[in-house]
Each structure stands twice: as structure tokens, then as C-alpha cells.
Structure 1
Amino acid sequence: MAVCGALALLASCGWGGKDDGESGGRLPGAPTGVSAAAGSATSVHVMWSAVSAGPGISGYEVYRGTTKVKDVPASEHMVDVTRLRPSTTYVFTVRAQDTDGRLGPRSREVRATTPAAAAADRSAPTRPLGPHGRAVGSRAVQLSWSRSTDDRGVVSYDIYQGTTKIHSVGGAQTATVVTGLRPGTRYSFTVRARDAADNLSPASTPVRLTTAPASDDGRGTAPTGFRATTHRAGGAYYLDLVWVPPRTDGVVTEYQIQLDGRPATSLVWGGAAPRDRASYSFYVGRDAGVTHRVRISARLPDGTWGGFSAERTVTTGPEQS
């Protein structure tokens, strides 16, 4: 069984924060899935997963070291921290604030290093070419484009929904998944390249996509390669689960396991969550010959739940291969 700080049962680790004796409620949980990447020589893009458990969330505070640098509304889970120094490593954390004004604990620390400044660079990168995409279920789209060129190098790509910048990825990345969208809605996305001097390329041609209706089963955001087997240890039976996390920009740190049609447990990685292959084992009882149905879903970086994986059926008994 996993322990807190690596992979843990929510109930065991006090998910949602510690009790607040004065108010009788629980503090917001620490944001998970926090990442940071340089956007230019003077800016860093910070992203995190929405905090959905516990009390209502009114917003987030973003810290550079011990200094608060940004207040972000609850509807947003990313921000550009600007006015930074070139060639400098920065440490960022995020805290959630509830509707009573109480702050939860800080997230884990993430680091990002800004590139060197490009002196007298007024040349913008070329326009990203060949953008295309597809709807991934009812609440996400996947976008990709061809790499831009620049005389000093592309540091990041900015993604726009209409005229609003909604995301940023590193200069080595030419694809992204945009989540948190509405079902059955038509969207228009463009991409712009940015260099270290904050020169922006012209916008790519628009990519127009329509998300699936609300009745969509969400399979595009579901874990894949899901397998379930059983083993016996200490006179008890355990289910062993293996899956591939869904493709997202951020790291998926939380999953929900459904056993026999009911929620069995939620899992949270407190350390480095796996990107390519995940596994988990949990107790299901001492009786042989019991058949269980199991499936799993992931909480996406924007705080919404993705679709369920394929359901697997497994019977306790002799060890399976």
C-alpha cells in the first residue's frame, strides 16, 4: 500500500487541508500539478491543477520565493509572471484561498530558468505554420503546429482562444492539449511564437473546432492501456492496476477508481507523478472466487474529471499473468 508523500488515499492524507479550529471548517488543499516554464528572458509561465475538494475556492496566490507576485481568480489556473531577470533561476509555489479568505498550504516548489537576454533583438519569429487539431471529447481539444524559426531561437509558443491568450508551452513543444472547455461549443484557436526578447510572431491561421456534446463519454481524456489483475498476500487479495495517463500539458496527479459501479478510492501523487505508465494495488478482501469490475478516471490539470477507462473484470484466486 502506498504512503502519503508518494501515492496516497485521500482520506489517509487528510485531503482538503487541515482542520481550522476557529472556523470549524477545513482549509483548501495545496494545488497539485504545478509546473513552470520560461516564456521569455523576463517572464515565466506558471500552471497548476484546480483545487476542487473542500470549501469553495475564491482564487489563488502565486509566490516567487517568499514573495507573492500574482493574485489569480478561481476560474484561472495559469499565469505569466513578468519583470524577471534573464539567466536567472526562480522558485514558484501556489496557494489556494477559499471564499472566507483563508489560505491553504503552499504547493510543492517548481523551478524555471529564464534564458539569456538577446541584445537589440527586434526580429520576431516566423508564423507557426500548418496548425491543426481535433476535439478530445466534450471538454478538451488537441492542437499541433509546425516549428517556427528565429534568428536567436524560439523560447515559447502562446495559444490564443479568439483574442485571449489562454496557455503557453515551451519552445521545444509543437503540440498541446487545451482543457476546461464547454461541451458542444465551437472554438477558434491560434498560435504565436515568442523569442527571448519577447518578440511575438504573427498569429497562425485559425484552427476551428467544436467540442462533443455533453452526452460524450469522455473517452478522449480517459487513461488508456488499462489492465487489472489480482494477487494474494498475507491471506488477502489485492487488485493490481496498470494504465497509461491521458495526454495533457500538465502532469496528472489525481485519479478516481470505481469498483463494481461505485467509487472505491481516490489517489493523489504527492511526488513526481508518472507520465508514461502508472500502477497501483489495493486490498479487496480475503475471499477467493469473487469477481470485480474496475475502471479509472483522471482529474485533468484544469480541475475537471476526464472520461473513464475501459472497464475490466477480474476474479480473485490464483495469481494471473
Structure 2
Amino acid sequence: MLCGSLLLMSACAMDESPGRRPPPAPPGVTATAGSATSVHVMWNLASGEPEIAGYEVYRGRTKVKDVPGGAHMVDITRLRPSTTYVFTVRARGTAGDLGPPSAEVRATTPAAGAADRRAPTRPGRLAGKAVGGKAAQLSWGPSTDDRDVASYDILQGDSKIHSVGGEQTAAVVTGLRPGTEYSFTVRARDAADNVSPVSRAVRLTTAPGEDDGRGTEPTGFRAGTRRTDGAYSIELSWLPPRVDGVITEYEIQLDGRRATTLVWGGTPPRDRATYSFYVGREPGVAYRVRIRAKLPDGTWGGFSAERTVTTGR
């Protein structure tokens, strides 16, 4: 399901009870096995009111982790091999109110194997570049293992900040500070939780000052108009930005002003996305339109290229 609001018109509404409101359910929850006994759970930071103090992560109906409000990922450990687990996440406001649970996500841990004590090889050459002031793109050569590489850990300094599946050799790190130097390394992990030596470090500095969102904008942006029953709508399509996580929210601007906020209530598209919205009945009206995504860390990405469309053409 897709919800949107255009100027003062709303395509979907939510009942609000008087008094204090609980936090919303965290969107974009994913779960990926990190080893035979661990799963990496990630979600998009909940935004808006009330302020988020923390998150609670549940395995089934059991709470297994408390996470600070500024974090949006965690490793769940001490799991069983070859087992499917169901996870949800709930946000907790500063007043202690718990929001509703997120959508359920499932992850299956791989088999442990017998007496595997051999660690994967060190990941190949790590390369990275800053994209604007708040993000970095990393890539590395794959590790090898006598069984299989289950996942890769991304470290910032000495701290693990992210994990990706063993088939992935690239990642996008968001939520960085403009004008700041960072050092990243990567290590491989197999199903038995054997860990490789860390890669050589890559050092980079994010762009200073205001972030321009380079590298986090929707691409392949297209815009046109359509007339139905005497009314005009703007038809849009785009490719979501490449980030680690799920994009669940977009902002569309018309003539430099916010016109519509889109929120996917179901499974957001990972490939080309489409959306259309009503703009009136008058022909010959020109609009400048562009779009940007809310990233999993709660910040806005860069704007797409701007397109100009005219009703009736």
C-alpha cells in the first residue's frame, strides 16, 4: 500500500486520540543471518513526534535487545543453526510509551557444520569514497572459506557498525558527519563464527558544510502528464537510491516546494518505482518536479534530477 498527501489534500489519514501519541512502527525492517548462531536486524529510524528514546527488538514474542534511539541495527546472537526466526521492532518514546510492532521479518540461520575452526581469508583490497557530507561507498574483494562466507562486518575504527550477506562485496554507509575523516575496515565471518583478519583500512573525508546528498539520490527519474476524465495527473517513475536498507518514504517537490510525501505501507519496490498524483484540470500549466528519499538512518538523501512537465502535452 502507498500513502501520499498533496498540499492540503490527504490520500490517507490516521485517527489521532487526544493526549500523548505513541511512536510509529519502525519501517523498513530486515533480518539477515550473520552466522549459524547470529542474525543482523536493521530498520529505518522512526521520525517525527514523539521523539524516539530507544528501540526494542523481539524474537517472536520475547524481547531480546534494547537499542538506543540513534541506532538502527543490532546483532542477535546465541541462536540455533538451521532455524528460522521471526523478528519485530518497536519504538519507545521519551515518555516511555511503546509504539506498535513493525512488520514481521524472517531469517534462517545456516547449518553450523562439523568442527569448522578455519577462518575465512582476509577480504581483498578495500576501496571507498565519500559521497557528499553524510555517506560513503565501500567495496572490497571477496574472501574465501573452506565452507562458505556467511557475512561481512563493516568496522568504523574498532567498532562494528554494519553487516552484509556473504554474497555482497559492497556497502553504503550513511549517517556520517560532514567534514569528518573516517577509517573503515571489513572482515569476513563464516557460519561457525570464525572471523577473518580485518582488511587494510581505507580512510576518507566527507565533504564539508551542508550535505548535497550526492550518491543518495533517486536515479533514472522520469516525469510526464496524463489526462483522465478531464483532470490531469503527473506520472513519475524512478530507481531507488543504492543504500543498505529499505527506502520506505519519499518527498516530491513541485516548483521547489514540497507537494507530496509518499509512504509505502507494504513492501517497497527495490527496482523501478512509480507514482501519480492529481494536479488540476487546467491545460498548459508547467511544473518543475523532483524527488528525494528518506534514508534508513532517518536523514534525507539528495534530490533527483529536476524534470519539467506541462499539462495537456
TM-score of the superposition, structure 1-length normalised?
Answer: 0.94
The CA RMSD over aligned residues, in Å, is 1.2
1:124 paired residue among 119, 124, 127: 119
Query: Partner residue of 1:169?
Result: 164
Query: Partner residue of 1:221?
Result: 216
2:237 paired residue among 224, 237, 242: 242
Structure 2 gaps, min length 5 = none
- 4+ residue segments displaced more than 6 Å: none
1:67 paired residue among 44, 62, 69: 62
- 1:3-36 deviations in Å (ceiling 9; x for gaps): xxx1112654447xx6344xx1322111111100
Question: Structure 1 residue 233 and structure 2 residue 228: aligned?
Answer: yes
- Is this contact kept in 1: 2:134–2:211, CA < 8 A? no
- 1:18-66 deviations in Å (ceiling 9; x for gaps): 6344xx1322111111100001101000000000122100000101111
Paired residue type of 2:194 = N
- 1:84-118 deviations in Å (ceiling 9; x for gaps): 11000001011111111111111111100000112
Query: Partner residue of 2:98?
Result: 103
* Percentage of identical aligned residues: 72
Question: Structure 1 residue 150 and structure 2 residue 128: aligned?
Answer: no
2:176 paired residue among 169, 172, 181: 181
- What pairs up with 1:54-93 in 2 under 5 angstroms? 54-93=49-88
Distance 1:70 1:14 in 2: 32
Query: Partner residue of 2:278?
Result: 283
- What pairs up with 1:23-62 in 2 under 5 angstroms? 24-62=19-57
Distance 1:62 1:14 in 2: 28
Question: Structure 1 residue 259 and structure 2 residue 254: aligned?
Answer: yes
Question: Structure 1 residue 316 and structure 2 residue 308: aligned?
Answer: no
The alpha-carbon deviation at position 259 of structure 1 amounts to 1.0
2:293 paired residue among 291, 298, 307: 298
The alpha-carbon deviation at position 71 of structure 1 amounts to 0.5
Structure 1 gaps, min length 5 = 1-5
Paired residue type of 2:88 = T
- Is this contact kept in 2: 1:20–1:27, CA < 8 A? no
- Is this contact kept in 2: 1:144–1:174, CA < 8 A? yes
Question: Structure 1 residue 212 and structure 2 residue 207: aligned?
Answer: yes
- Is this contact kept in 2: 1:7–1:268, CA < 8 A? yes
Classify the secondary structure of the residue corresponding to 1:128.
coil
Distance 2:161 2:23 in 1: 25
Aligned residues: 309
TM-score of the superposition, structure 2-length normalised?
Answer: 0.96
Classify the secondary structure of the residue corresponding to 2:215.
helix
- 1:157-211 deviations in Å (ceiling 9; x for gaps): 0000000000000001000100110011110000000011111100000011111
The alpha-carbon deviation at position 275 of structure 1 amounts to 1.3
Query: Partner residue of 1:3?
Result: none
Distance 1:166 1:26, change over 3 A: same
Distance 1:295 1:127, change over 3 A: same
Distance 2:282 2:214 in 1: 33
